[in-house]
Structure formats: structure tokens, C-alpha cells
Amino acid sequence: MTLNRRSVTVLGATGSIGNSTLDLINRHPDTFDVDTVTAHRDIVGLAAAARQSNARYAVIADETKYLALKGLLGGTGIQVAAGADAIIERAGAGTDWTMAAIVGLAGLEPIMAALRAGGTVALANKEALVAAGTIMMDAVVDHGATLLPVDSEHNAVFQCFEPDPARIRRIVLTASGGPFRTWSYEQMRYATVTQAVKHPNWPMGHKISVDSATMMNKGLELIEARHLFGVAPGMLDIVVHPESIIHSMVDFIDGSTLAQMGCPDMRVPIAYTLAWPERMATPCDRLDLAQLGQLTFEKPDEDRFPALRIAKSALYQGGATPVIMNAANEVAVAAFLQQHIGFADIMKVVEMVLETYMAPDPADLDDVHAIDEEARAFTTFHLKAAVAA
Ligand code: NAD
Ligand code: MG
């Protein structure tokens, strides 16, 4: 491999994306210098990640775990810090490349810090872009930073994209349809947590797995695509493709469609962002189309998956609506994972919040945080009533 040596930071190092990222990085110790790895509460996972990657810093968000983490890393020379501010500080330290793989809006400030430092950010954390898309994209320009999409669909579009919007007719995001693709709405009402987090093609963190089951994940991805590629909402489309081999497509005005394909393994899009603008070898499975036999496609069903309709409306409305939708969804998914509400209740809650909670458009990051916090409080307070309605 002929890549230049670069310093890297992995935010959310103990998660599914964080693990896949470190798996690639650790295979190339001569190319990647790990500056910082971070996690929420999992000190054992973080200490292992820091040791394996020979990181300079390990930062845990939960301050109560500082001493325990320090104990686990004693004698290694790895510096230890704790707290959300410590993560933001390390994220802004100016490493060449940062993986943004914290889940939820908690990842927003570290991303902004890395962008302000003018580095390259590989973005997995779609919730941050959904809530603060315009502000984040402005920061990329203002600070000469680079934002590369990790989400498999957006990474696929990025690989097929041409920046001249006049050449593009449509962007088509593929959706696996999730574990309940063939279930009736009635069946989904009784879906359990275990069933919801068992994705047919991709092993992922619990939050995004539930989002895939409700298909809110695809809704968030529409908004993510709008910001990343600067296209009008009407140019974005979804097709269900259960095999997850075509990761997305770009339709050009002349009738050509470019699609990016590969086995469903997040290390492929992550490697693309790690090596960009080069490419690097990975140990991932190769595509064998003859073995697969066929690829199938379906229209998305907005009746069984109301999240698609809800997110589309937020995509067109913009302003505070995506912030509120994301906040309500994060709260409702957490409530489902704790078995406080049922699976179909997740979208009932999100829809109720969007119908009743209003906020002016956010002008800056403080506004985004204020709307997010109020919308979370509102959702939590009205959770039971929304479910009972
Ligand atoms: P995960 O739950 O497996 O990992 C989340 C990581 O974030 C963990 O390291 C955790 O410690 C950290 N974290 C959680 N809350 C935090 C907080 N409050 N402060 C600091 N750190 C915190 O999730 P994942 O599946 O790896 O997904 C991460 C992000 O990537 C999500 O935004 C998800 O939508 C996106 N994404 C994931 C996949 C996938 O295949 N897993 C694909 C596309 C996009
Ligand atoms: Mg995706």
C-alpha cells in the first residue's frame, strides 16, 4: 500500500463501526498512527481498543469511570481522560483523519471540533448531520475540512457521484427492508427487542438496528443525502433491495445509472474513507454474482413503515423538523429497547411529537441543542399519552 502515513482518531471506538474501523487500522500499523480512541461507558472495550491500536489517548465520556480506566491502562503510557468535553477537546486536536462513529446527537460537538480543526471526518454518525446539516456543511467549507460518507448508501453515491448537479437526475438509496420487511403492521405491533435488533444482513449497534426495523434509518438517510450531496429533496428516492449488494445508485440525465456493489461489510466503505483519494486492500469477501443468482427490488411500503412518510415530510420541511424528529426518535427507540413501549409505538410517538411540538428554525448550534433538549423532554413527558392514544 502506498498511502501516506496519517494520524487517526476513532470516536465511538467500542461500537460496531468503531470495531470495524480499528480492525482495518490495526492491519496497517505503518500507515496509521492512532491518536485517540473514545467510548461512552465501556472501559474494558476501550482499554482493549487503546492497547491493540497503541493509541496515545483513551477518553471515556462517563467521568465516573476515569479511575477505573486509568487502572486498566496503567503502565501502558496511554494517556487517559474523561468527560464529554475531553472527547471534544481530543476531537479538535487536529489529527489527519477522524472516524465519527458515536451514536446519536451526542456525537455532534466532537464532529464540529474535528471539522473546525480542518481535518478529514469520516461520517458514520448520521443523526448529527440530520439535526445540524446546514451548520455542519458550512463548517466544512469555512474550515477547509473534508467530510466523507461512511454510511454504505452515501459512500456508494459518493463513489458514483459527479458534483455537477445539472448532470444528475436522481439519487436512489437502497434499503434492505430490515428484519420486518415481510411482516404485517399487526405482526410488527408485537415485535420484540430481540427480533428488532436482528438485522438480516448487517450486524450493527442496537439503535441503528431498531431504526432499520422501523425504516426510520432510511428516512434519516434521505436527509443525510440531501446535506451531503446538496440535491433537492425531490431528487431522492428509495428502493427496497433485500440482498444489500447494490449499496445505492446515481441516475444521470442521459439515462445512465451508476451503482456501487459489494458484499455487505462496513469495512468496505470504511476502507474507502480511510484510503481516500486512494484505495486500500481489505480482507472483505468478494462479490460472486453467479453464486448469488439474482438481485431483487421492491417498492417501499409507507403504510407498514410510516417512518418513511414521516421522514420524507421532515426532509421537505427542513428547519427544526429534522432536529425534533431525530430527538423524538432517539427517545422512543431507547424506550422500546428498555421495553417501556412497543415496536409500533415508536413511530406513534415520533408522529405525535412532530404534530404537537413546534420550534423556530435553528440558526446556530446552540439553537440545535436547545431544540433537541426540549424535544427530548417533551417526548419523555408525553411518551405514555402518545402510546395510549
Ligand atoms: P454502537 O452502538 O455499536 O456504537 C456506538 C459508539 O458510540 C460506542 O463506542 C459508544 O461507546 C459510543 N457512544 C454512545 N453514546 C455516547 C455518548 N453519549 N458519548 C460518547 N460516546 C458515546 O453503534 P454503531 O452501530 O457503531 O453506529 C454508530 C453510528 O454509525 C450511528 O450513528 C449509526 O447510525 C451509524 N452507522 C452505523 C452502521 C453500522 O453498520 N453499524 C452503518 C451506517 C451508519
Ligand atoms: Mg446505511
> Is there an atom of ligand 1 within 6 Å of 18 CB?
yes
Could you tell me the three cell numbers for 139? 463548517
Residue 206 CA to ligand 1 centre (angstroms): 9
Are the C-beta atoms of 46 and 60 separated by less than 8 Å? yes
Q: What domains sit in the chain, N to C, each tagged with a CATH number?
A: 6-150 (3.40.50.720), 154-264+296-388 (1.10.1740.10)
Q: Is the CB of 300 under 6 A from ligand 1?
A: no
Contacts of 260 (CB under 8 A, 6+ apart): 155, 156, 157, 159, 160, 246, 247, 248, 249
Over residues 324-341, the pLDDT tens digits come to: 999 999 999 999 999 999
Q: Name the closest ligand to CA 10.
A: 1
Q: Is 58 in the pocket of ligand 1 (CB under 6 A)?
A: no
pLDDT given at position 300 = 98
C-alpha span between 93 and 351 (Å, rounded): 40
Ligand in nearest proximity to the CA of 273: 1
pTM: 0.98
Please tell me if the CB atom of residue 368 comes closer than 6 angstroms to any atom of ligand 1. no
Ligand 1: which of 59, 152, 204, 247 to mutate, judged by most atoms within 8 Å of the beta carbon? 204
Please report which ligand is nearest the Cα atom of 225.
2
Between helices 216-229 and 126-142, what is the axis angle to 10°? Answer: 10
Asked whether 125 lines ligand 1 (CB < 6 A), one says yes
Identify the residue whose C-alpha is closest to ligand 1 atom 18.
Answer: 106
Q: Cα(224) to centroid of ligand 2, in Å?
A: 10
Is the CB of 224 within 6 Å of ligand 1? no
Q: What is the pLDDT of residues 3-22, one digit of tens each?
A: 889 999 999 999 999 999 99
d(CA 289, CA 338): 40
Q: How many CB atoms lie under 10 A from the CB of residue 105?
A: 22
Please state whether the peptide bond connecting residue 277 to the residue before it is cis, i.e. omega within 30 degrees of 0: yes
Mean pLDDT by 10 residues, the chain (389 residues): 89 98 97 98 98 98 98 98 98 98 98 98 98 98 98 98 92 98 97 95 94 98 98 97 98 98 98 97 97 97 98 98 98 98 98 97 98 98 91
What integer pLDDT is reported at residue 347 of this predicted model?
98
Is there a binding annotation on residue 262? no
